[in-house]
Amino acid sequence: MLSNIHSDHAQAGDLVEIVSPSRKIFIFLLATGKEIHTHRGIVKHDDLIGKAWGSEVISHKGNPFFLLQPTLADVIAEIPRNTQIIYPKDIGFILVTMGIGSGTKVLEAGSGSGALTTALAWVVGPEGTVVSYEMRPDVKNLAQKNLNRVGLSSRVDFKLGDIAEGISVRGFDAVFLDIPNAYELISQVKQALKPGGHFGCIFPTINQVMRLLPALHANNFKVVDICEIMLRYYKSHQDRLRPTDRMVAHTGYLTFARSIIPIENTNDEGLESETETDIAQENH
Amino acid sequence: MLSNIHSDHAQAGDLVEIVSPSRKIFIFLLATGKEIHTHRGIVKHDDLIGKAWGSEVISHKGNPFFLLQPTLADVIAEIPRNTQIIYPKDIGFILVTMGIGSGTKVLEAGSGSGALTTALAWVVGPEGTVVSYEMRPDVKNLAQKNLNRVGLSSRVDFKLGDIAEGISVRGFDAVFLDIPNAYELISQVKQALKPGGHFGCIFPTINQVMRLLPALHANNFKVVDICEIMLRYYKSHQDRLRPTDRMVAHTGYLTFARSIIPIENTNDEGLESETETDIAQENH
Amino acid sequence: MLSNIHSDHAQAGDLVEIVSPSRKIFIFLLATGKEIHTHRGIVKHDDLIGKAWGSEVISHKGNPFFLLQPTLADVIAEIPRNTQIIYPKDIGFILVTMGIGSGTKVLEAGSGSGALTTALAWVVGPEGTVVSYEMRPDVKNLAQKNLNRVGLSSRVDFKLGDIAEGISVRGFDAVFLDIPNAYELISQVKQALKPGGHFGCIFPTINQVMRLLPALHANNFKVVDICEIMLRYYKSHQDRLRPTDRMVAHTGYLTFARSIIPIENTNDEGLESETETDIAQENH
Amino acid sequence: MLSNIHSDHAQAGDLVEIVSPSRKIFIFLLATGKEIHTHRGIVKHDDLIGKAWGSEVISHKGNPFFLLQPTLADVIAEIPRNTQIIYPKDIGFILVTMGIGSGTKVLEAGSGSGALTTALAWVVGPEGTVVSYEMRPDVKNLAQKNLNRVGLSSRVDFKLGDIAEGISVRGFDAVFLDIPNAYELISQVKQALKPGGHFGCIFPTINQVMRLLPALHANNFKVVDICEIMLRYYKSHQDRLRPTDRMVAHTGYLTFARSIIPIENTNDEGLESETETDIAQENH
């Protein structure tokens, strides 16, 4: 992915995608002598090597595909997986809300299949740091394999372990948790984050969010936001423009907060009305 | 923003934010001797300088604020503006869908108040390139000023001009348009993009999307996605968890496509059924 | 509302609405000699009496209004209130889901300002029955006054009281609760409903829904549906079609269930997988 | 459906539904000697006849079902069809917005499979009038058959014909169109409606809405609302409460308007600002 970012044509060793007009996507590493088998026919790697990006290519059955550098969203959405992944719609908002960009030091747990890991490694760049905890060895191995495939594993420090037993790093800009019991791990997160640092997590159920809120409070996390993102696609027919028939209704609830150093003996809880907070949140 | 990314305390010259428990946000450059005036009292810059990030500070009226490094989303949402801006919920998805990360070469038009520009400059890092066109001098000046304030202007090449008269760059990875008549500018975009490159744009009305589709078709852009993103916040009360009363219903329709080099004399339009495309899109 | 349903012109005693082109709505009883004062000028009732429905009329300031029989949705949305009301978007779905139509026997608690009561009385017709409980005398009085105004109070049996102390009716087709602690009242609902009858309720918070579920289970309510309805309006400009900028994000969570007579000694819980239920619900 | 609304047990000739715990719904007419075959076993009609509504019954394979009077929403959602139907979420809002209740005179075109027809017939009661146009004989026959099955056909006057050739009725309270070219039929609707009467229609594409707006304008329809309704279900697990994974993204755009008698020589278009209209619409 990274290695050939500014190249204008496909070379052996590149991660490429071929996309059918009906949007079937095949992502693979280009290698001389190999073939990719699709429901629309076979495409020989050798017919792709040397071709300009964006080229239309034809399978042995005469069906067209477009040869492309895989977009980050496609890599994430099509990642080989043995876990539920975090989707691009959520990842984009996580990056912007937590200020994760070039040079950021970010920790995630768990790695899962490496979907968010891929995005983090991509965005923090060569000067950033990504530490990724995973407690299941097989899952960790898959995440590493997936990052290897896209050429980003050198940016990630994979750690096998349970952060309930402590996080070995300190002073991180951001920590993101995708762990069922994340609400039990907030004191560990507090220690790994620098003061003012960003906490984020995703939960499938609202019950988990309810358990998280007192844990954030107890550990002096403030500026708490809870939200969900709905993404609706349209059928791209100029004369019959309309949304698709069905959509994803839910991936997860996102919660964000900042690590705060409170003044002793103050009780700021009572000073502000709910109304103001809510109005501010509605105006985001 | 960038300059002190890993610092642990606020220094003169830093861009800082103070946030009230009710989520009023004040973003400003820290300078000795200055004061920030809020509806909840005055805070002296000198009382902030040297404080750890995340510290709770008290105004002269006794009201608390949290001293934070501004998050990218806050900088964008609070940007001084004389135009409609692109919001964080859309920006995050744009970045991930168009694969904009460390090292990317991206062009945008128009700059507007610099909201997307800020995110692009932040994400592409020191090795990336951002070219931003704006045809109104006063708007361009504001965008530059806004990028200056957050320490990212060195990453952006601001150009005063109308891309209808041509784009001076070539071989870019991605082009994003936030221009009312973007549908008239697709041939110019085609020239600036490298083959296979990413096109994206945002339109407030569906009429504009309808005009865009034939222009994309005529210029051999494929893999077209049209979508919209809805972001819903929750009131963060553990015992009374519920969404906010009101939300943003619409910011804009996002369209994405890839620049394709077609094979001569093929007609791939008829080869694929609508049904397949739509199913693929619904499963994003 | 009812009395003149098929009339073609406004008469003294009618409930009428005048609507400005900008959609300000004024609902009132027409009476000789009276005036309605609006921000766009005064309209004399005598100038409306005898006018055909749908007529454009002009205020003393020269501003136009449309003279209309109030639609049920407008009566509900504009109801004089001292409580939160249930909105048309939710009421419509409640009616259809609970099968409330001509001849239905339905009980609601509490009456609140009478928004749902109005819809129930309208829909059940002269052969239906509406019983409405309210424990606060002032609220009950307002609901009655509101039903009187629209000519539907004869269809409603208002009762002052707390259904926690029991419901006096039996064999009802449907019971709807809009009460904060509805989850404590399910055994009373069970007694009032005929076997197989419809239960429905609305809650602002998800915590209340969580408490409701075990109460439904304990009282043998099955076929449980939980849902929420989002209504998005569009700006009606042909050349610039787009959703409004903001919308209502949340009114309440709706829960529906049926009163079941279980077979002794069966445990149907384990017989069906979650997956099937969820797929069925998604295909609603 | 109607015939036994207040009965407490199932009888031969009744329309009944049996629902599995996983929410598979089977709707049928009860008849001595018959059997209903499901994926979970056979249920004999004779075992249902005489049973109380709400009873749990067991198939020959030992699987439980609940015996219920079909709810209006289930009848609609499960209607035998050869066309796209209008869904309960939209039907409920149509009824409330257009004030369709006991005694209303309403016309619809086309009948389609009779989903909306069923709801209209149910809601207008014995004193109301439903006229339903359909131009395809086979579709009309199915709609009639579907209304017959639920015992509501006596309330509906089915007409075979194209309303482009004129509508034979006059003075109706409400007209609803579910026809692809409804925008070409607005002058016919105008004639059938009483002054001030309600117009409504549903379109799958936004292009159709765009064509409708000038037709409404040309025929003096005002108080125009365009909207769409999103319905999201939740998985009803108390300890893992969350929305379903997928949902219906789009059924159709709803448009509503009122038939107006304008004053000669006024131009009310310019009198009101867009801003006000939009704010009013957002506050619905």
Radius of gyration of chain B measured on its C-alpha atoms: 22
Residue C193, burial from CB neighbour count under 10 angstroms (0-12, 13-18, 19+): buried
Using DSSP's 3-state secondary structure scheme, residue D177 falls into strand
More reliable by pLDDT, D8 or A199: A199
- Calculate how close chain A gets to C210, using CA atoms only, in Å: 9
CATH number at residue D44: 3.10.330.20
Judge if the upstream peptide bond of residue B33 is cis by omega within 30 degrees of 0: no
Is the Cβ pair B233, A226 closer than 8 Å? yes
Find the helix packing angle between C88-97 and D88-97, rounded to 10°: 120
Residue position matching structure tokens 């993103």: B229
Residues facing C227 on adjacent strands: C254, D233
Indicate the pairing of strand D221-235 with strand D242-243. antiparallel
> What are D123-132's pLDDT values in tens digits?
999 999 999 9
Residue C211, burial from CB neighbour count under 10 angstroms (0-12, 13-18, 19+): middle
Same domain, B169 and B227: yes
- Residues within 8 A of C (CB atoms), D 136-165 only: none
ipTM: 0.93
Is the Cβ pair A56, B263 closer than 8 Å? yes
The answer to whether residues C231 and C89 touch, using CB atoms and an 8 Å cutoff, is: yes
Q: How sure is the predictor about C281, in pLDDT bands with cuts at 50, 70 and 90? A: low
Amino acid at A93: F
Report how far apart the first and last C-alpha atoms of chain C are (Å, whole number).
Answer: 34
Q: How sure is the predictor about D282, in pLDDT bands with cuts at 50, 70 and 90? A: low
User: Is D6's pLDDT higher than 90?
Assistant: no
Residue C4 located in a structural domain: no
Q: How sure is the predictor about B276, in pLDDT bands with cuts at 50, 70 and 90? A: very low
- Calculate how close chain B gets to C238, using CA atoms only, in Å: 8
What string of DSSP letters covers A238-250? Answer: TTS-EE-SEEE--
pLDDT for residue A272: 42
pLDDT for residue C217: 97
CB distance from D10 to chain C under 8 Å?
no
User: How far is residue A122's CA from residue A131's CA, in Å, rounded to a whole number?
Assistant: 13
Torsion angle of C-alpha atoms C262, C266, C270, C276, degrees rounded to 10: -40
With CA atoms as reference, report the closest residue to D157 among D140, D173, D177, D171. D140
Is the Cβ pair D22, C101 closer than 8 Å? no
User: How far is residue B29's CA from residue A234's CA, in Å, rounded to a whole number?
Assistant: 42
With CA atoms as reference, report the closest residue to B17 among B66, B55, B77, B59. B66
- Calculate how close chain A gets to B25, using CA atoms only, in Å: 9
Cβ neighbours of residue C275 under 8 Å, at least 6 residues apart?
none
- pLDDT, average across residues D168-185: 97
**CA separation, residue D76 to residues C117, C155, D66, D119 (Å):** 24, 27, 19, 8
User: How far is residue B130's CA from residue B153's CA, in Å, rounded to a whole number?
Assistant: 10
CB distance from D19 to chain C under 8 Å?
yes
The answer to whether residues C152 and C82 touch, using CB atoms and an 8 Å cutoff, is: no
- pLDDT, average across residues D65-77: 94
Indicate the pairing of strand B15-19 with strand B64-68. antiparallel
CB distance from A207 to chain D under 8 Å?
yes
10 Å Cβ neighbour count for A270? Answer: 7
Find the helix packing angle between D206-218 and B206-218, rounded to 10°: 130
Question: Which of A203, A205, A206 is the best mutation test for C, with the most CBs of C within 10 A?
Answer: A206
Q: How sure is the predictor about D1, in pLDDT bands with cuts at 50, 70 and 90? A: low
| Structure token digits, residue A104 | 């950021």
pLDDT for residue B191: 97
| Structure token digits, residue C201 | 């309720």
Alpha-helical regions (H) of chain B: 45-48, 72-77, 88-97, 115-124, 137-149, 186-192, 206-218, 274-282
pLDDT for residue A82: 87
Is the Cβ pair C207, A210 closer than 8 Å? yes
Write out chain B residues lying below 8 Å of C206, CB-based. Answer: 241-242
User: Is D3's pLDDT higher than 50?
Assistant: no
* Mean confidence (pLDDT) of chain D: 91
CB distance from C282 to chain A under 8 Å?
yes
> What are D226-277's pLDDT values in tens digits?
999 999 999 989 999 999 999 999 999 999 999 999 997 544 444 444 444 4
Same domain, B40 and B158: no
CATH number at residue A239: 3.40.50.150
How many domains is chain B built from? 2
Question: Which of B4, B189, B198, B234 is the best mutation test for A, with the most CBs of A within 10 A?
Answer: B234
Let me know the angle formed at the C-alpha of B11 by B7 and B16, rounded to the nearest 5 degrees: 85
Write out chain C residues lying below 8 Å of B242, CB-based. Answer: 204-206, 250
pLDDT for residue A6: 78
Residue D1 located in a structural domain: no
| Structure token digits, residue A281 | 């949140």
User: How far is residue A221's CA from residue A216's CA, in Å, rounded to a whole number?
Assistant: 5
> Which conformational region is residue C171 in: left (phi greater than 0), alpha (psi within -120 to 50 degrees), or beta?
left
Residue A8 located in a structural domain: no
pLDDT for residue A284: 52
What is the count of residue pairs from B and C with beta carbons less than 8 Å apart?
56
User: How far is residue D118's CA from residue D81's CA, in Å, rounded to a whole number?
Assistant: 13
With CA atoms as reference, report the closest residue to B282 among D227, D248, A66, D206. D248
Same domain, B127 and B42: no
Helix, strand and coil percent figures for chain B, each rounded to 5: 30, 30, 40
Residue C3 located in a structural domain: no
User: How far is residue B136's CA from residue B174's CA, in Å, rounded to a whole number?
Assistant: 23
- pLDDT, average across residues B99-114: 95
Same domain, D197 and D276: yes
10 Å Cβ neighbour count for A187? Answer: 12
Q: What are phi and psi of B191, to 5 degrees?
A: -70, -35
CB distance from A232 to chain B under 8 Å?
yes
Task: List per-residue pLDDT tens for chain A, 284 residues long.
Answer: 544 677 889 999 999 999 998 899 999 999 999 999 999 999 999 999 999 999 999 999 999 999 999 989 999 999 999 889 999 999 999 999 999 999 999 999 999 999 999 999 999 999 999 999 999 999 999 999 999 999 999 999 999 999 999 999 999 999 999 999 999 999 999 999 999 999 999 999 999 999 999 999 999 999 999 999 999 999 989 999 999 999 999 999 999 999 999 997 544 444 444 444 444 555 55
Question: Which of C38, C89, C96, C206 is the best mutation test for D, with the most CBs of D within 10 A?
Answer: C96
| Structure token digits, residue D261 | 């008698």
Same domain, C116 and C246: yes
pLDDT for residue C220: 97
Same domain, D45 and D150: no
Amino acid at C181: N
The answer to whether residues C90 and D284 touch, using CB atoms and an 8 Å cutoff, is: no
Domain region containing C21: 15-70
Same domain, C57 and C121: no
* Chain B partners (3+ C-beta pairs within 8 A): A, C, D
CB distance from C181 to chain B under 8 Å?
no
Same domain, C228 and C92: yes
- Calculate how close chain B gets to A218, using CA atoms only, in Å: 13
Same domain, D94 and D157: yes
Same domain, A20 and A136: no
pTM given for the model: 0.94
pLDDT for residue C280: 52
Residue D264 located in a structural domain: yes
- pLDDT, average across residues B80-92: 93
The answer to whether residues B250 and B184 touch, using CB atoms and an 8 Å cutoff, is: no
- Calculate how close chain B gets to C99, using CA atoms only, in Å: 28
Q: Where does a domain end: B36, B54, B70? A: B70
Residue A6 located in a structural domain: no
User: Is B180's pLDDT higher than 70?
Assistant: yes
| CA-based nearest residue in chain B for residue A251 | B284
- Calculate how close chain C gets to A269, using CA atoms only, in Å: 21
pLDDT for residue B281: 55
Residue A7 located in a structural domain: no
What is the count of residue pairs from B and D with beta carbons less than 8 Å apart?
5
> What are C65-74's pLDDT values in tens digits?
999 999 899 9
Q: How sure is the predictor about C273, in pLDDT bands with cuts at 50, 70 and 90? A: very low
Residues facing B36 on adjacent strands: B43
Residue D95 located in a structural domain: yes
Q: Where does a domain end: C70, C98, C133? A: C70
* Mean confidence (pLDDT) of chain C: 91
Total number of residues shown for chain B: 284
Same domain, A60 and A164: no
Residue A217, burial from CB neighbour count under 10 angstroms (0-12, 13-18, 19+): middle
CB distance from B96 to chain A under 8 Å?
yes
Same domain, D27 and D86: no
User: How far is residue A216's CA from residue A187's CA, in Å, rounded to a whole number?
Assistant: 9
Is the Cβ pair D206, A244 closer than 8 Å? no
User: How far is residue C121's CA from residue C118's CA, in Å, rounded to a whole number?
Assistant: 5
| CA-based nearest residue in chain C for residue A228 | C249
What string of DSSP letters covers B90-142? Answer: HHHHHHHHTT--TT-EEEEE--TTSHHHHHHHHHH-TT-EEEEEES-HHHHHH
Judge if the upstream peptide bond of residue C197 is cis by omega within 30 degrees of 0: no
Is the Cβ pair C249, A282 closer than 8 Å? yes
The answer to whether residues D223 and C74 touch, using CB atoms and an 8 Å cutoff, is: no
**Percent of the residues in chain D that have a pLDDT greater than 90, as a whole number:** 87
**CA separation, residue C172 to residues C18, C130, D67 (Å):** 38, 10, 17
User: Is C262's pLDDT higher than 60?
Assistant: yes
pLDDT for residue B270: 42
Q: What are phi and psi of B258, to 5 degrees?
A: -115, 140
- Residues within 8 A of B (CB atoms), C 233-252 only: 233, 239-250
**CA separation, residue A127 to residues A48, A99, A102, C169, D13 (Å):** 33, 15, 7, 73, 76
Residues facing D230 on adjacent strands: C230
Judge if the upstream peptide bond of residue D50 is cis by omega within 30 degrees of 0: no
- For chain C, where are the E strands, in sequence order? 15-19, 25-29, 35-38, 41-44, 56-58, 64-68, 105-109, 129-134, 156-160, 172-177, 193-203, 221-235, 242-243, 246-248, 253-259
